[in-house]
Amino acid sequence: MAELGDSSISASAAPYTSLPFPPVTKQHILNCSYHSWHPRYRKITPKARLIPLTAPFLSYLRADGIVLPDDDASPPRDWSDDDSGIFSSTENPDAAEESEDEDPSAEWRDVHAQIKNTIEELGGKVVPKLNWSAPKDATWINANSMECRTPSDVYLLLKSSDFVTHDLEHAFDDTEEASTADGADKAQADPEIPYHLVLRKHFLLNPSLEFRCFVRRRNIVAISQRDLNHFDFLFSLSDTFRSRITSFFNENLRDTFPDESFVFDVYIPPPHDKVWLVDINPWAQRTDPLLFSWLELLTMDGPDSDKWVQKQKAQEAKEAANVVSIPIAPESTASSASTQALDHDDNASEASTVTPSDSEDDDVDEEIWTPEIRLVKKDDPEAYSFATPQYSAHKLPRDVVDASRGGEGAMREFAEKWKEVLAKAERDDQEASSDSDGDD
């Protein structure tokens, strides 16, 4: 794979047969984990709490099937408000005794208690995520919402998400070390990941004001709108957003994040004078480039590219050449020089303001580099993407999609039917097992 040079990037390179990413290391992935960077940037992030996860809880997340612990201690749920926890709100009476004996949280009661207490501490509504990913692909099972009010809501989203599974099973895929080792060596080489559950205080977020920022060699090279719908008002504010983001980056992230290349997400709520850090992602192909392509981001002009490095050197040389040395007059001629200055006061005043004309022209022509901010235009193919299912790589059954579009009543009806299907499948398995024992 082609690699970026240490000192510069050329946009006029020969056609690539693969994306010219620098090597992605496991340490870079760990540096982008929420638990790693959040303590450093806590004051500029939305309110959140991190809960260290134990081995039994991680085993529960990795296990097949969705079995939710009893939430008797939780506040009563208002079905008219939402459909969260649809699989855990009512229990099958026939399985009540069995469920008591098979409490899935028996081995991680401390984690369960921390989650419950944290939800209460953060106002009763939270949004969950793991080290790198939020379960946005699983909102179909939670009334199309990331909002969680009980621990079971959190478990339901985590266990239904392919994004979370990727965090658990494939965090170091495509890293430099993983690409050169077989399975056994890889297991030994992978550093232990301190998994954390992130619970962020729920607040009404305007998706049109989220932006993804691409940092290459400690310089922002591009800014992209995150929500792929057209919002006309963004265009008149684009310079404001670019200025706010650039200042925020220079003051908070540029010299403090361990890696020189990374991607970060921000939220700029009205009146657009405060920037919040939402997430940090790896400078790697696994991160969605949104309105850009990774080839663009890797090869576009920037403060670290050949063009701008050469321009900066030329500017520095020009400034050095324009320095004027003013000799100090000898003491013997000081009186004469003073008399001449008095005789030609007007001329002296005029001469003192004279500067080389070519220097003025060069200053006017001096170009200041700014990152491109890319927004969805009204006629862009990406506009109005709500017509296409988000996360289309994670296909859902047609019944689920139809139910999610039908509102809360349809989701509740679907949940009941789904439970019946699961109960029937379980009975069939038990009958098959009994028949097999009888034949033996």
Which pLDDT score, from 0 to 100, does residue 243 have?
96
Tokens of 379: 């006629």
How high is the pLDDT of residue 301?
Answer: 87
When pLDDT is averaged across residues 166-184 and rounded to a whole number, the result is 75
pLDDT digits (tens, 9 = 90+) for 407-431: 555 556 666 666 676 677 677 767 7
- pLDDT reported for residue 21: 86
Of 423 and 77, more confident:
423
Residue 246 has a pLDDT of: 96
Asked if 38 and 120 touch (Cβ cutoff 8 Å), the reply is: no
Report CA dihedral (89, 95, 98, 103) to the nearest 10 degrees: -10
Report the share of the chain in percent with pLDDT over 70.
60
157: closest CA among 227, 212, 83?
83
Phi, psi (deg, nearest 5) at residue 111: -65, -45
Q: Which residues contact 380 (CB under 8 A, 6 or more apart)?
A: 230
Residue of 287, 262, 288, 267 whose CA lies nearest to 277: 267
Q: In this structure, are residues 122 and 201 in contact, taking their beta carbons and an 8 Å threshold?
A: yes
Q: How confident is the model at residue 152 (pLDDT cuts 50, 70, 90)?
A: very high
Where is average pLDDT lowest: 21-30, 84-93, 151-160, 202-211? 84-93
End-to-end Cα distance, the chain: 58
What pLDDT, on the 0 to 100 scale, is given for residue 176?
Answer: 79
CA–CA distance, 158 with 57 (Å, rounded to integer): 12
Q: Which one-letter amino acid corresponds to residue 151? A: P
Please check whether residue 225 is in contact with residue 290, taking contact to mean a CB–CB distance below 8 angstroms: yes
**What CA–CA distance (Å, rounded) separates 438 from 349?**
114
Predicted local confidence at residue 336, as pLDDT: 45
How confident is the model at residue 18, as a pLDDT? Answer: 73
d(CA 21, CA 347): 62
pLDDT of residue 388: 45
pLDDT band of 263, cuts 50, 70, 90: very high
Which range scores top for mean pLDDT: 94-103, 258-267, 378-387?
Answer: 258-267
Instruction: Average the pLDDT over 7-12 and give the result.
Output: 42
Confidence of residue 102 (pLDDT cuts 50, 70, 90): confident
Q: Do 122 and 197 meet the contact criterion of CB atoms below 8 Å apart?
A: no
Q: Are strands 372-374 and 276-282 parallel, antiparallel or unpaired?
A: unpaired
Three-state SS annotation for 215-278: EECCEEEEEEECCCCCCCHHHHCHHHHHHHHHHHHHHHCCCCCCCCCEEEEEECCCCCCCCEEE
Rounded Cα distance, 40 and 292, in Å: 29
Other beta carbons within 10 angstroms of residue 122's beta carbon come to 17
Query: Which of the residue ranges 64-73, 299-308, 325-334 would you say has the lowest mean pLDDT?
Result: 325-334
Contact of 378 with 230, CB cutoff 8 Å:
yes
φ and ψ of 201, to 5 deg:
-60, 130
pLDDT of residue 367: 60
Cα–Cα dist 67/302, whole Å: 51
Mean pLDDT of 156-182: 84
pTM for the predicted model, two decimal places = 0.68
CB distance 221 to 215 below 8 Å: yes
Q: What span, in angstroms and rounded, lies between the C-alpha atoms of 342 and 332?
A: 17
Tell me the three-class secondary structure of the chain, residue by residue: CCCCCCCCECCCCCCCCCCCCCCCCHHHHHHCCHHHHCCCCHHHCCCEEEEECCHHHHHHHHCCCCCCCCCCCCCCCCCCCCCCCCCCCCCCHHHHHHHHHCCCCCCCHHHHHHHHHHHHHCCCCEEEECCCCCCHHHHHHHCCCCCECCHHHHHHHHHCCHHHHHHHHCCCCCCCCHHHCCHHHHHHHCCCCCCEEEEEECCCCCHHHEEEEEEECCEEEEEEECCCCCCCHHHHCHHHHHHHHHHHHHHHCCCCCCCCCEEEEEECCCCCCCCEEEEEEECCCCCCCCCCCHHHHHHCCCCCEHHHHHHHHHHHHHHHHCCCCCCCCCHHHHHHHHHHHHHCHHHHHHHCCCCCHHHHHHHHHCCCCCCEEECCCCCCCCCCHHHCCCCCCCCCCHHHHHHHHCHHHHHHHHHHHHHHHHHHHHHHHHHHHHHHHHHC
What does the alpha-carbon distance between residue 340 and residue 329 come to, in Å, rounded to a whole number?
13
Q: Render pLDDT for 375-394 as a digit per residue (tens, 0 to 9).
A: 999 887 766 654 444 554 44
Q: In terms of pLDDT, which residue wins out, 384 or 328?
A: 384
Does 101 score more than 60 pLDDT?
Answer: no
CA pair distance 251, 91, nearest whole angstrom? 53
- Rounded distance between C-alpha atoms, residue 38 and residue 49, angstroms: 10
Orientation of helix 55-62 relative to helix 151-159, angle to 10° = 60
Q: Which of 62-71, 280-289, 418-427, 431-440 has the lowest mean pLDDT?
A: 431-440
Quick: pLDDT tens for 17-39: 678 888 899 999 999 999 999 99
